[in-house]
Amino acid sequence: MKIIPGAVWGLILARGGSNAITLKNLTPFVGRPLIDFQVLAAKSSGSLNRLLCSTDHQGIADRCATLRVEVHSRPVHLGAEGTPVMAVIEDFLQDICAHEGAVAECIALLQPTSPFLLAEHIQWTVDALLADPDAGSAQTVVLCPQNHHAHEQLIIQDGQANFCFPEQRAAAGNKQLGAKHYLYGNLLVFRSLAALEQQTPFAGPSRPIEIPYAQGFVLDAPDDTKLGQALLAASLAKLQNS
What pLDDT score was predicted for residue 230? 97
pLDDT at 144: 93
CATH 3.90.550.10 domain position(s) in the chain: 3-140+185-233
Q: Residue 176: what pLDDT?
A: 58
- CA neighbor of 102 nearest in space, from 155, 49, 166: 49
Give the Cα separation of 209 and 184 in Å (integer): 10
Residue 141, number of CB atoms within 10 A of its CB: 19
pLDDT score of 81: 75
| Confidence grade of residue 175 (pLDDT, cut at 50, 70, 90) | low
Please give the share of the chain, as a percent, with pLDDT higher than 70: 96
- CA 168/CA 185 separation, integer angstroms: 25
Q: Taking 60 as the threshold, does the pLDDT of residue 177 lie above it?
A: no
- Kindly report the pTM of this predicted structure: 0.92
Lowest mean per-residue pLDDT among 2-6, 15-19, 50-54, 231-235: 15-19
* Helix runs in 55-103, H state only: 58-66, 85-100
> Is pLDDT above 80 for 139?
yes
3-140+185-233 has CATH 3.90.550.10 classification? yes
Of the chain, the percentage scoring pLDDT greater than 90 comes to: 81
Q: What pLDDT, in 10s, does the model give residues 51-103? A: 999 999 999 999 999 999 999 998 877 777 778 999 999 999 999 999 999 99
Say whether pLDDT at 34 is over 90.
yes
What pLDDT, on a 0 to 100 scale, did the predictor assign at position 169?
Answer: 83
Does the structure show a pLDDT above 80 at 173?
Answer: no
Scored b (16 or more CB within 10 A) or e, 87-111 reads: ebbbbbbebbeeeeeebbbbbbbbb
